[in-house]
Structure 1
Amino acid sequence: HRPAACGGCENVLAQDAEAVGFSWSQVFDLPEPRLIVTEHRMLKVRCHCGHITRADHPHGVKAPTQYGPGVHALAVYQLVHQHVPCLRTATGAADLHGAHLSEGFAHTALDRAASHLAPFSERVVALLQLADVAHFDESGIRVASSLHWVHVACTTHLTWYKAHAKRGKAGMADAGVLPYFTGTTVTDAWSSYLGYGTAGALCNAHILRDLDGVHHTDPTGQQWAKAAIDALTTANDAAHAAREAGREALTSDEITSLETQFDHAVRVGRSTNPDPPPKAKKSFARQLVDRLIRRREDILRFLHDLRVPFTNNQAEQDIRMTKIQMKVSGGWRTLDGANRWLLVRSYLSTARKHGLNPMTVLRDLFAGNPWLPPAPA
């Protein structure tokens, strides 16, 4: 771009006026939407014997006209990663890319994606079974207008979802990870998780919320709850600082000091909330104190093993995406349909955790080359 006139004297600038430099601006934009059509011609060749042989179709090309891996990837990306309903997925593909899809095409694309993910499901379940620390959670969903449960097993690099009619051990067994898991589980206080893994850690976000509720209800009478909150947050800060410094563990003196602070608060809570009269129901504060005593080792496990996080936020964040799908669609018509959606969601979530583009791994999937999470070194 050349200026037309001088900004000083306002004279017209000659075309051969000396250029002494430039400034620049960049505009990022999208091209006009269009489909790229690739035509494959399978030659027919006559042999000297008179027989005519036609070349085979390339891999993945089966019909006179069809949509390719990119269009299939777009439909599944919208349905599963962005939680867009089928009709809007079809409309969006036409508006944005000139691909006039039907709702049936979108459904079929999702089914095709799930059918190619058997190697992925085997790999991710096996890796989760071998993980040192893994997070587990469950949440209610609607399938065929009835309550079902989606179970999640995950780490910072892996995600696995499975829907089941039961919330407890039957659903956990069907998911395939917990019955064979030998590491440390990070869970909420749901009793069905007891007995799995070699060690368990409780989500301290739940503990802090319960302690805050007890203190908020009676700030004067339940001061111990605030002291317990302070003890846990101080311990979490110490563990976080140790990890940031590259340390493998806290010292025994550090652990003893932090545990003593927590134990003192719990003892005060025990004396503040004595045993109720016979047949009387325990107050929530007393129930919480009993849980802190009963599950002390699991609550404080993050101090003894710095690989164990303070909360179960990883599982809660991963399972939250299924709740978004529930808000959009209201549920699934069949359990098989729910598990197909969840299988593809597991694939995309795991790929995203490895820094991969979801459209890229979906395109690879439909091109016959599904991505697999790497095995540990």
Structure 2
Amino acid sequence: MTVENINVENAVQRVNDLIAQEKNLSPALKASLEVLLLLVTILTNRLGLTSKNSSKPPSSDPNRKKAPKEPGARKPGGQNGHIGTTLKPFPEPDLVKEIRVDRETLPPGNYQSTGYERRRIVDLDISLFVTEWRAEILEDENGKRFVAPFPEDVARPVQYGIGVKAHAVYMSQYQLIPYNRIEDHFQDQMGIPVSAGSIHNFNKDASERLEFFESWGKSRLAESALVHSDETGIHIDIDGVRRWLHSVSNDSFTCFYPHAKRGCEAMDEMGILPKFQRTLCHDHWKPYFHYGGLHALCNARHLRELERAVEQGNQQWAAQMIVLLKAMNKATHEAGGRLEETESEQFRKRYRDLLREAELECPAPDETAKKKKGKTARSKARNLLERLDSERFGVKAPILSGASTMERQDPEALSTS
């Protein structure tokens, strides 16, 4: 990585070489310098992280700019043969306003009305609507009172109606608007005082009513041929504990599940992956290999890590791998989602050949020279290379639309990071 025209990797390596040559350094000073150099390397690597070469969100990119779209061959607007849609009249208007012809502007003659030319304005009338229920009271000759029963959902002297509740839940859960802004909306637009506590209760009530749908949706996900799974830290403090947001999704359903843990305990409690037996697409994190049958490894994640290897490690094999993965993905999509065996094997051969070339550029550390027990530390580029080299685990090289596949193996063996 280069900062202010200084190649950080080369500078750190030169300092390490100088430290190794200096025989009079005390062990404490030498260790301190090594720690400082490590911190310099870590901090400078973080300076170069963006959404394109890491898992950071695009919103965190400094001075981010949207890439301009290349002008297409077609002109803006509807194309020839396109069936357009316009705002259609609603069946019955709520208000009719007639415009009379000013007879004084007409030339002399006799006129009769033959109809109207119609134009309609579709608008929104936001207003307070109060329904009062009146339960009749009867008394017999002895003064005994008989009161007509109210409907079951009319339980208080004054309460919110289903429209208020549904509107609040929609704004909160679908539009993701904060509670205090929903309060302002109801007060400013309709003069209805709705507190944050009430909105919370509306959401809780809706959640309880949707328990059957949640169970049904989870069962549909568990029965899918392919699901995508991921987890991310979220800025939610529940009972003093931060949460991880787990997700499992396919083309039709998405289930989000917050939990204090990141691993299998949370996934088991979520209740989808333990029942899932088909292809699971994920980011190569070790706990996912405890679930599913086949595994599709997310190439969007691979591409970001490869970009980082190119930018921060000057790894040329990574640049070639980016080109190859994109070509594989493009060819698979153009083939309708599945390549012919011949073309598939050609891509596999190119993939395996590139991995062998990468071994020369990014070799594994010398395990015989290590002084401590355990696995010798590897660079991020080396860790990525080992994860991409599926054949070291006795399985086929990855080929799949948008992702790489790997048969289920021992998660300890498959994890290299």
Provide the TM-score with structure 1 as the length reference. Answer: 0.68
Matched residues in 1 for 2:231 and 2:355: separation? 29
Q: What is the identity, as a one-letter code, of the residue corresponding to 1:80? A: Q
Instruction: Describe the shift of the 1:98–1:310 C-alpha distance in structure 2 as closer, same or farther (beyond 3 A).
Output: farther
Matched residues in 1 for 2:251 and 2:273: separation? 17
Q: Is the 8 A contact 1:184 1:197 kept in 2?
A: yes
Q: Is the 8 A contact 2:274 2:291 kept in 1?
A: yes
Matched residues in 1 for 2:157 and 2:380: separation? 68
Does residue 368 of structure 2 align to residue 272 of structure 1? no
What is the count of residue pairs matched by the alignment?
Answer: 294
Instruction: Describe the shift of the 1:2–1:260 C-alpha distance in structure 2 as closer, same or farther (beyond 3 A).
Output: farther
CA RMSD of aligned residues (A): 3.5
| Alignment counterpart, residue 195 of structure 1, candidates 290, 293, 299 | 290
Matched residues in 1 for 2:101 and 2:396: separation? 72
Matched residues in 2 for 1:25 and 1:299: separation? 64
Partner of 1:287: 383
Does residue 222 of structure 2 align to residue 129 of structure 1? yes
| Unaligned residue ranges in structure 1 (runs of 5+) | 5-10, 304-308, 312-377
Provide the TM-score with structure 2 as the length reference. Answer: 0.62
Instruction: Describe the shift of the 1:157–1:223 C-alpha distance in structure 2 as closer, same or farther (beyond 3 A).
Output: same
Q: What is the identity percentage for the equivalent residue pairs of Structure 1 and Structure 2?
A: 31
SS in 2 for 1:111: helix
Deviations 1:309-346 (A, max 9, x none): 549xxxxxxxxxxxxxxxxxxxxxxxxxxxxxxxxxxx
Larger C-alpha radius of gyration, 1 or 2?
2
Q: Is the 8 A contact 2:139 2:145 kept in 1?
A: yes
Q: What is the identity, as a one-letter code, of the residue corresponding to 1:284? A: K
Does residue 322 of structure 2 align to residue 226 of structure 1? no
Q: What is the identity, as a one-letter code, of the residue corresponding to 1:29? A: D
Q: Is the 8 A contact 2:363 2:382 kept in 1?
A: yes
Matched residues in 2 for 1:169 and 1:13: separation? 84
Matched residues in 1 for 2:353 and 2:338: separation? 23
Q: Is the 8 A contact 2:390 2:396 kept in 1?
A: no
Instruction: Describe the shift of the 1:63–1:265 C-alpha distance in structure 2 as closer, same or farther (beyond 3 A).
Output: same
Does residue 300 of structure 2 align to residue 300 of structure 1? no
Q: Is the 8 A contact 2:317 2:358 kept in 1?
A: yes
Q: Which structure's residues are more often helix, by fraction?
A: 1
Q: Is the 8 A contact 1:138 1:149 kept in 2?
A: yes
| Unaligned residue ranges in structure 2 (runs of 5+) | 1-98, 371-375, 405-417
Matched residues in 1 for 2:158 and 2:108: separation? 54
CA deviation after TM superposition for structure 1 residue 203, in Å: 0.8
Aligned pairs for 1:205-284 within 5 A: 205-217=300-312, 219=314, 222-243=315-336, 249-277=338-366, 278-279=369-370, 281-284=377-380
SS in 1 for 2:255: strand
Partner of 1:147: 242
CA deviation after TM superposition for structure 1 residue 104, in Å: 2.2
CA deviation after TM superposition for structure 1 residue 72, in Å: 0.6
CA deviation after TM superposition for structure 1 residue 285, in Å: 2.2
Deviations 1:160-217 (A, max 9, x none): 1222111011111111111111121111121111120011111101111111222233
SS in 2 for 1:236: helix
